Amino acid sequence: MVHVVAIRRYPVKSMGGEALTGVELDARGLVGDRAFAVSNLEGRFASGKNTKRFRRHDEVFAFAARTMADAVVVSGAGGEWSVGQAGLDAALSDALGQPMRVTAEAGVPHFDDGAVSVVGTATLAWCERELGVDPDARRLRVNVVVQTSEPFEEESWEGAIVIGGSGSGAGRGSSSGAREGSGSGAVLRTVQRIERCRTIDLPQDGVRTRTRWLKPLGDARDARVGIYCDVAIPGTITVGDQVRPG
């Protein structure tokens, strides 16, 4: 039975994130996910790649963000700051070698191509076995990891996906102590498979070693793993929630 085994949110894009036992989803995605980004004077966001919206600044991976009751707190070399404090922008500017600041999303989206990213455990196990890589899901920076029995099973899903709600509670629980199937449920709608970039090979989000994932993934699977979804019906999901077709 497919069920949620991990949920992860990234309050500041490209920084390390936070493990959750449950989270609310609204029309945008996980509430608070990628709500902020580190931007330069041109408005480009610090990331692990260069595009029209992003500029490669691997130094940003050394910082991590977590959500508190009244603030988003960032930690990194030299201290800890709340988003909005001048000291945070100064520390980022020093680390990235140019003037930078943390900005809230406004107009230009912080997401790459989808609101919620999902990957299956069988897919990660296949990558470890067949590609010889470290399959830590944090390298993929996904929001939801689901227990699956077949590699790339999630890529075959089409249309609506229901997480939690009626009929849930069949999950196996989690080491975090989350109550099984305790979410009110939400409905996602599949968008596309996720094309990966060099970030998956790098130390980031608490993973301290490199791996060689992108090149063999490109040869074997056109550099794609996991899926993007949009939120069709908002709600709350938790670790242990059942995942089923809508």
Q: All domains of the chain, ordered by start, with CATH?
A: 3-29+112-245 (2.40.33.20), 36-104 (no CATH)
DSSP string, 60-102: GGG-EEEE-SS-EEEEETTEEEETT-HHHHHHHHHHHTS-EEE
Longest CA–CA span in the chain (Å) reads 52
Place of tokens 């036992």: 21
Section 199-209 average pLDDT: 95
Single out the residue of 66, 32, 20, 71 nearest to residue 183, CA to CA: 20
Q: What is the pLDDT of residue 127?
A: 98
Total Cβ atoms within 10 A of residue 195: 15
Q: Would you mind telling me the total number of residues written for the chain in this entry?
A: 246
Q: What is the pLDDT of residue 114?
A: 87
Q: How sure is the predictor about 166, in pLDDT bands with cuts at 50, 70 and 90?
A: low
Asked if the model's pLDDT at residue 15 lies above 60, the reply is yes
Q: What is the pLDDT of residue 77?
A: 85
Kindly tell me the sign of the dihedral angle through the C-alpha atoms of 59, 142, 10, 45: positive
Q: What is the pLDDT of residue 242?
A: 97
Asked if the model's pLDDT at residue 142 lies above 80, the reply is yes
Q: What is the pLDDT of residue 167?
A: 53
User: Which residues are 236's β-sheet partners?
Assistant: 24, 185
C-alpha 241/C-alpha 147 separation (Å) is 10
Q: Between 173 and 190, name the one with better pLDDT.
A: 190
User: SS3 breakdown of the chain: % helix, strand, coil, rounded to 5?
Assistant: 20, 40, 40
Asked if the model's pLDDT at residue 175 lies above 70, the reply is no
Tokens found for residue 49: 């790649």
Q: What is the chain's Cα-based Rg?
A: 18
Q: What is the pLDDT of residue 176?
A: 37
Full-model pTM: 0.91
Single out the residue of 230, 232, 234 nearest to residue 112, CA to CA: 230
Q: What is the pLDDT of residue 78?
A: 84
Please name the helix (run of DSSP H) or strand (run of DSSP E) that holds residue 122, with its range, or none: helix 121-131
Asked if the model's pLDDT at residue 218 lies above 80, the reply is yes
Whether the Cβ atoms of residue 61 and residue 48 lie closer than 8 Å to each other:
yes
Tokens found for residue 125: 């196990």
pLDDT digits (tens, 9 = 90+) for 62-118: 999 999 999 999 999 889 999 999 999 999 999 999 999 999 999 899 998 889 999
Q: How sure is the predictor about 182, in pLDDT bands with cuts at 50, 70 and 90?
A: low
Distance of CA 106 to the CA centre of its chain: 20
Section 31-54 average pLDDT: 95
